[in-house]
Amino acid sequence: MTTSTANTQALTLRYGQQSVPAAGPWSSTIEGLLAHRSVRKYKPTPLESGTLETLIAAAQSASTSSNLQCWSVVNVTDPAIRSELAKIASGQKHIEQCPLFLVWLCDLSRNRRLGEAHDIELTSLELTESFLVGVVDAALAAQNAVVAAESLGLSTVYIGALRNDAERVAQLLKLPQGAFAVFGLCIGYADTETEVKPRLPQPAVLFENHYSTPNEHVLRNGYDETLGEFSRRHEMAHDTWSARVIDRTQKKAAVGGRAQLKSILERLGFPLR
């Protein structure tokens, strides 16, 4: 298969026949990125020794704002804690089944302790900006771990549903004030075949100089069709993307305990000033 054929095939799976972008240069790493699928069923096969350390080295190699390194990660090996976390995440069984489950933290507490060691109060840590820095740091690090894992033939899925009860997660993992579990991540060998999920066409998310949406409804309708085919093949609850977005975001109740995130964050040491 030529590079250009592989490239077209990967782009067609990601965007559907109608919306293949005019992509250019290609690499085996990019091939891997394009092939990403979230996997929710894992074999019990344990990971090769040293895999965790490799993934964390990849994670720490990501950019971090001003090298402040405002993130940490908890490797949850205790089945009792896994079981509690799965309950918080509406019973997602793969949290208990996967060989490696990592919880990624926005962590301002390490730098607060550093200040305390020098008898200095780091007042900027209470700002919304500092919270944002920690969340972005954690996300960049985690994504590098995902890319590294997939390059080793492993599969992954992010678990945002830990935020259904971020306070209980903090208790279970004994997090100090100023640390917050942004999401979990399951890692292991896939025990299921999954298809690449199509995304919105590029013109719906990419703008030049100014944000502008003259054809948005046309792009959306096309995407509803593309994702509709995908959803019907997988017997998913919602035919179209539009229906799913509306269902997920119409009522605050649909996001469950996550609607309380603001007050929970305050209790966890993030006043978001």
Q: Which of residues 20-79 bind a copy of itself (CB under 8 A)?
A: 21-30, 32-36, 38, 48-54, 56-58, 60-69, 71-78
Stated length of the chain: 273
Residue closer to a copy of itself, measured from CB, 41 or 199 = 199
Residue 44: C-alpha distances to residues 49, 117, 172, 187, 191 (Å): 15, 43, 24, 11, 9
| Interacting positions 104-133 with a copy of itself (CB under 8 A) | 105, 107, 110-111, 113-115, 117-118, 120-125, 127-130, 132-133
CB 143 to a copy of itself: min, Å: 4
Among 81, 168, 228, 239, binds a copy of itself (CB under 8 A): 81
Residues 6+ apart with CB under 8 A from 124: 130
CB 239 to a copy of itself: min, Å: 13
Phi, psi (rounded to 5 degrees) for 92: -70, 105
Measured distance CA(240)–CA(232) in Å, rounded: 9
CB 254 to a copy of itself: min, Å: 6
237's enclosing H/E stretch is none
The answer to whether the CB of 162 falls within 8 A of the CB of 170 is: no
**Binding-residue pattern over the window 158 to 197 for a copy of itself, x denoting contact by CB under 8 A:** x-x--x---------xxxx--x--xx------------xx
Residue 90 interacts with a copy of itself (CB under 8 A)?
A: no
